[in-house]
Amino acid sequence: MAGVVLVVVAVWTLVSARYASEPAARTVLGWALILVGCGALCFRRRQPVTVAVVTLLACVVYYPLSAQDGPLMIAFALALYTTAAEGRFAAALALAAVTLLAVGIGEIRQQPGHRQIDDTSLVMLAGWLISLVAVGRAQRTRMAYLHEVEQRALAAEREQEARARQSATEERLRIAREVHDVLGHSISLINVQSGAALHRLGKGPAPEAGLATATEALEAVKATSKDALRELRATLGVLRGADEPTPTAPSSSGLALLADLAARARSTGLDVRTEVTGRPVPLPPPVDLAAYRIVQESLTNVTRHAGASTVRVGLDWGADALRLRIADDGAGAPEGRALGSGIRGMAERARAFGGELTARNGDGGGFLVDARLPLPPPTGATEPTGPAGPTEPTGPTAPPTPTSPTTPTTPEGNPR
């Protein structure tokens, strides 16, 4: 920009020199002032006020001295505009006022008939100076607005990336929790069943008894692995489908198959006793899934770690919440031991629906998992026949209704 202004001023001055003559010393001084005024524009962004003052002083000296009257005022005009555009609005106004005042005083002091600028030109000069400052201020405002828009766009992009990372992390944790619950329970049962069968066969029973033991163990392993494969296929099928919704119900129909879940645990030699109190109500599929997985993971932990012989699974249907209590008579958890990923996953499931879960050693020994899941508000529907069955045809079916809403039952269904 400084080079363009220098070319314009130089060409104009050379053309004017053909029609006006002056001493060589004044010509040299005039060209020096032109070079200083135009060259100062190279620093107008870093020192806008200083450059404006320098160009103004160059014009103050140049115009009374030179007879060629080149357009050096262009350099000052550009410097004044830059001062306002760089945010030095007060300095720009002051320089414009000083310029107008100096020109006015200089013209007033001229002898009659020797004025260089008449009143109309003086008013036009005032308008030009005000316009330069106003346009510079508008440009400053526009640049500030564009910068703010850019910063907002960058902030929105960063926020979107953070949300995407958070969503990916949550989805990864959900998948890990789901696969853990699906496979951990079944593989633990298979391990216990096969280990028990090998232990009995290792005692060298009669061929008929050994064959019966092996057959029983293989049938249990087959049934458990079949269930595991079915649940794993269902989970992987959802993961493969890009447009599939998030699974909201377990492939085994949730609490509706709590009896089957207990039966598989009994096949390992564990005495599982279920107790249901209160009036069961339909559960939304996500809550049904959470309740089922909490019981499943609790039974898995009992089978793998507790060394227990009996475990009680209690479902207490309250007015506003479902209480799940899984207690065993095993050795309990060692003091100071950190909770495993399974218990953390159960706690995350409960908290996801506004509930809570605690896992600790029982007061009388063993280990206790105590979970509370809020129930949906009543909708005036007819009394359900099961604790977890949604109204849709594809929802889970209800488990057997206890003989009395407040009477606990043993696995065989008899009153305790």
Task: Say if residue 143's pLDDT is above 80.
Answer: yes
**pLDDT score recorded for residue 150:** 92
Q: With cut-offs at 50, 70 and 90, classify the pLDDT of residue 325.
A: very high
Tokens 């909708």 belong to: 379
Task: Say if residue 116's pLDDT is above 50.
Answer: yes
Same domain, yes or no: 232 and 275 = no
* Domain range for 219: 171-240
Same domain, yes or no: 302 and 340 = yes
Strand partners, 407: 404
Do 78 and 44 form a contact (C-beta atoms < 8 A)?
yes
Same domain, yes or no: 235 and 260 = no
Nearest-angstrom CA–CA distance, 168 and 165: 5
The CATH number for 319's domain is 3.30.565.10
Same domain, yes or no: 319 and 217 = no
Same domain, yes or no: 217 and 293 = no
User: CA neighbours within 13 Å on the CB side: how many for 199?
Assistant: 8
The one-character DSSP state at 204 is -
Residue 393 domain-assigned (yes or no): no
Nearest-angstrom CA–CA distance, 253 and 245: 17
Same domain, yes or no: 284 and 184 = no
Of 86-95, 105-114, 149-158, 272-281, the poorest mean pLDDT is in 105-114
Average pLDDT of the residues in 369-389: 65
Q: What is the helix (H) or strand (E) element at residue 72, kind and residue range?
A: none
Mean pLDDT of the chain: 78
Task: Say if residue 114's pLDDT is above 60.
Answer: yes
Tokens 């799940």 belong to: 324
Average pLDDT of the residues in 332-346: 75
Average pLDDT of the residues in 288-317: 87
Task: Say if residue 226's pLDDT is above 60.
Answer: yes
Residue 155 domain-assigned (yes or no): no
Residue 164 domain-assigned (yes or no): no
Same domain, yes or no: 212 and 101 = no
Nearest-angstrom CA–CA distance, 11 and 70: 9
Of 59-63, 184-188, 306-310, the poorest mean pLDDT is in 184-188
Task: Say if residue 383's pLDDT is above 50.
Answer: no
For the chain, how many structural domains are there in total? Answer: 3
The two tokens of residue 272 are 């599982």
Average pLDDT of the residues in 28-39: 88
Residue 388 domain-assigned (yes or no): no
Residue 246 domain-assigned (yes or no): no
At what angle are helices 73-85 and 48-65 packed, to 10 degrees?
160
Nearest in space to 400 (alpha carbons), one of 392, 411, 323, 316: 411
Burial 124-159 (b: 16+ CB within 10 A, else e): ebbeebeebbeebbeebeeeeeeeeeeeeeeeeeee
Same domain, yes or no: 178 and 232 = yes
Average pLDDT of the residues in 195-211: 72
Same domain, yes or no: 260 and 236 = no
**pLDDT score recorded for residue 404:** 36
Residue 150 domain-assigned (yes or no): no
pTM: 0.44
Same domain, yes or no: 355 and 275 = yes
Residue 3 domain-assigned (yes or no): yes
Q: Single out the residue in 374, 394, 411 at which a domain terminates.
A: 374
Same domain, yes or no: 259 and 355 = yes
Task: Say if residue 16's pLDDT is above 90.
Answer: no
Residue 399 domain-assigned (yes or no): no
**pLDDT score recorded for residue 89:** 86
Same domain, yes or no: 224 and 272 = no
Nearest-angstrom CA–CA distance, 63 and 228: 96
